Amino acid sequence: MRLLLPLLLLSACAVAPPRPDPPLAYPPAARERMVRLALAEWRDWGGIVAAPGATPAARPAESDPANFPRLLAYWRAVPQDEGAIARNRRLYAAALAGAPAGAALWREPFWSAAFISWVLAGAGVDRREFPPSAAHADYVDALIRDALAFPATAPFLPRRPGEMAPRPGDLLCADRGPAPIRDWRQRAADAGRFRPMHCDIVVAAGPGAVEAVGGNVSDSVTLSRLAADAQGVLLPRAAGEPAWFVLFENRLGRLPPWSATP
């Protein structure tokens, strides 16, 4: 019996985890709602635009007590908030009381991934197809995993940023680390390790320019205007700016039965 128990434990550990259910297809309304929500938030935050090669000066928008409910909603969309809500409720109380500590409201932790998670949840995309997270790396890994396991039905397919012209609803992600990766396959080989990242939602695209909305850019929800070639393919970013390493092609509403072909 003493020998049998360790063997049983080893055998249980060797059993592969169950394969996840295949992702479901969504109607075009989910992708369209993603774009509408991102643009609506951008307008509500003041319509700040970052031009190619330039970042607008940071404003204290995130620390304005009037914006407390917006950021609270973003953080409520993620299952693990890294203590952000409890910490910033205290800072909000300080801001309402006029205490100096209130000036740090919502400055930590970074909330850009919570913003993306809020938009996807608000668009009606289930956690099975897009797992919300306080870290971009978590959902980036999940989307890559799904694309590799279910290439015919995954709602988001990873592409190299120069492989195709972005379309509204696509996710554009950059590596913010000191030694940035340049291709999503590098991330697939390094999945599970934290890397500082930032992702934006493409809201408009065409020859010469791509526009994408992201959170926690200049302490606000900001629209970044990105340079593209005559075919609408993104041009390389200026030296010193975070390097794009993946463009997630959004196939919500573009797969059967909502579309005849992927």
pLDDT digits (tens, 9 = 90+) for 108-160: 999 999 999 999 999 999 999 999 999 999 999 999 999 999 999 999 999 99
pLDDT of residue 6: 47
Q: What is the mean pLDDT of residues 196-224?
A: 96
The DSSP bridge pattern shows strands 209-217 and 220-227 to be antiparallel
**Tokens 């554009």 — which residue?**
172
pLDDT band for position 251 (cuts 50, 70, 90): very high
User: For residues 112 and 214, is the Cβ–Cβ distance under 8 A?
Assistant: yes
From edge to edge, which strands make up the β-sheet containing 209-217? 48-50, 220-227, 209-217, 197-206, 171-175, 243-250, 156-159
User: Residue 226: how many CB atoms within 10 A of its CB?
Assistant: 22
pLDDT of residue 9 exceeding 90 = no
CA–CA distance, 233 with 250 (Å, rounded to integer): 16
pLDDT of residue 3 exceeding 60 = no
**Token digits of residue 182:** 């340049």
User: What percent of the chain is modeled with pLDDT above 90?
Assistant: 75
Domain limits, the chain? 26-250
CA–CA distance, 220 with 197 (Å, rounded to integer): 17
Residue 255: name the closest of 93, 129, 159 by CA: 129
pLDDT of residue 182 exceeding 50 = yes
What does the pLDDT look like over 17-49, one tens digit per residue?
677 899 999 999 999 999 999 999 999 999 999
